[in-house]
Amino acid sequence: MRFSISLVLLFSLCLGHGIVELEASHCIYDQLQISLNVSSNSTDQPYRTGYHFQPHKNWINDPNGVMIHNGIYHLFYQYNPKGVVWGNIVWAHSTSEDLINWVSHEPAISPSQKYDEKGCWSGSATILPGDKPAILYTGIDLDNNQVQNLAFPKNLSDPYLIEWEKFPKNPLMAPDSKNGINASAFRDPSTAWQGPDKAWRVVIGSKNDDLGLAILFRSEDFITWSQAKRPLHSGKHTGMWECPDFYPVAVDNVTGLDTSTLGSNVKHVLKVSLDNTKHDYYTIGNYNYRTDKYIPDNGSIEGDRGLKYDYGKFYASKTFFDSARNRRVLWGWINESSSVKDDAKKGWSGLQAIPRTVWLDKSGKQLIQWPVAELEMLRDNEIHLQHKSLDAGSTHEITGITAAQADVDISLEITDINKAEVINLKRHHAQKLCNERNASAKGSLGPFGLKVLASNDSQEFTAVFFRIFIRKASKQPVVLMCSDQSRSSLNNDNDKTTYGTFLNVDPVSEKISLRSLIDHSIVESFGGGGKSCITARVYPKLAVDDKAHLYVFNNGTEAVKVASLKAWSLKDAHIK
């Protein structure tokens, strides 16, 4: 469509320039809250995904109220029905029988009352006794206070739970300055859990200056809630805790647990979305239900130096217990890395990551994440590669699949750990190290890995790769995992940040594995069998559709071996 000059100028504005700011992550573009009649036909949409969840048009963000009820999966999510930027937020609703193919319904919750007139923000679903779902969500009232509200399905006999009713006594929880609650920082109720005393607990994200808070509320009947004297947990110098998620994980197996599960073989995970950094961090620890206090394990670090679900684009995540398959499933919002002007041209912004099964690693020190098994039903055109040597500076193209829409699983071996570079890790942050030593910077053992969404002349590519170092102090090997977007597109208006993390695997005694899900404008990568994840948004100009290529590469001075590689084209999911 043709844009007026004034509208184009508006799209170039950012924080502090022509918008009203309601906390850092909720920016209101007052002059852009209009429907844009932008084409979203597949012929002119090279960045629309084939198997990731995204609506036909407009803005989406946080996954909300994710649950399974009577065999049907429900995904609610923040949605702007009027435009491609954040605003006019409702709870959109889609259902599925397999977490991959989805049918859209009318919005389940929309602003309609004094307590949510200015927005229906994020929240969670809890399955109450009698198999009755209940949604707790944040409403923004006429005074811009953030308050917590309750909604129930209107008709439990409807398998799709299309209509929802707000509880007549809303709001159930409101900010109280006497209890230290900031009215503009009191949001995103978690899934509730029930203790042995049969009382329900829920946590709300908040802050006190730069102290992040998971404020605890209790209820006997899920309707009358009282604030506990102490938060479930807090973290210094972390800022606003958005979208808190608190759930149990089994110590001795990979089976998921109902949110109310307690026991000697159970640890707990507290995840918070840090508004300051736009990343999801988690700690693993112990929950004392008698005192309602959560204490992270020694070595489980709060804030920016701690563990992340994903070291790339991934935020406002939510888990649920899938009672049909006894697993815990994680959803996360993937924001764009393109400009607002480009988002308006394509008519949409944001999508959801592939749902991931989550369990506790055998070490007990971190989580494992892996794409749900249902994704594999989209696989087609399987190819194999085994025992392939990658000499110094070599590149090998993977053909026979659709490189723009693929699932690639590779296992790599190094030849001689003694050739690894020595590094003082006290002086290096993983992401900074990936930036300084990108895919084009030659090393000894690395960089080696995949080049995806690559043009045939290598003007464009996204590299997901590893480097092996030896720690200067301990003489132990360390593996760096990177996702390099620096050459992902000829369009310099995009955010092309390079992401990185250290991967907790021993390259001497085990192979280094990498699985990457490639879907036109998104690359989700899982290193070490899901120990570390990095998601990237990329928008190539040349490596589009059938012009995209896929390579295995080694830009180090030492040879590495492809122990095995399996790759598949992935068919489109049905998202109606």
Classify residue 380 by its DSSP letter: E
CB-based contact 97:123 (threshold 8 Å) = no
Q: Which residue matches tokens 């960089």? A: 447
Q: Output the CA–CA distances (angstroms, integers) from residue 167 to 126, 148, 212, in the order listed.
A: 15, 11, 29
What DSSP string runs through 268-306? Answer: EEEEEEETTTTEEEEEEEEEETTTTEEEEPTT---GGGS
Residue 381's identity, in one-letter code, is N
Q: Kindly report the CA angle at 461 between 456 and 464, in degrees rounded to 5?
A: 130
How far is the C-alpha of 450 from the C-alpha of 443, rounded, in Å?
16
In sequence order, the 6+-apart residues with CB closer than 8 A to the CB of 223 are: 150, 167, 169, 172
Partnered with residue 405 across adjacent β-strands are: 519
| 343: enclosing H helix or E strand | helix 340-346
How far is the C-alpha of 496 from the C-alpha of 541, rounded, in Å?
14
**Two structure tokens written together for 260:** 């109310």
How far is the C-alpha of 149 from the C-alpha of 118, rounded, in Å?
14
How far is the C-alpha of 191 from the C-alpha of 68, rounded, in Å?
13
Q: Which residue matches tokens 């998620």? A: 245
Tell me the CA end-to-end span of the chain in Å, nearest whole number: 24
- The edge-to-edge listing of strands for the beta sheet with 379-390 is 379-390, 560-570, 405-414, 512-519, 522-527, 532-537
Label residues 16-31 b or e (16+ Cβ within 10 Å = b). eeebeebeebbbbbee
Residue of 44, 62, 210, 572 marked active site: 62
CB-based contact 533:515 (threshold 8 Å) = no
Label residues 455-473 b or e (16+ Cβ within 10 Å = b). beebebbbbbbbbbbbeee
Classify residue 426 by its DSSP letter: G
- The answer to whether 209 is a known catalytic residue is no
C-alpha 401: how far from chain center = 27
Q: Which residue matches tokens 């808070």? A: 213
How far is the C-alpha of 531 from the C-alpha of 445, rounded, in Å?
21
Q: Output the CA–CA distances (angstroms, integers) from residue 519 to 346, 408, 491, 547, in the order listed.
A: 16, 11, 19, 14
Label residues 401-434 b or e (16+ Cβ within 10 Å = b). bbbbbbbbebbbbbeeeebbeebebeebebbebb
Query: Looking at the annotation, which residues are catalytic?
Result: 62
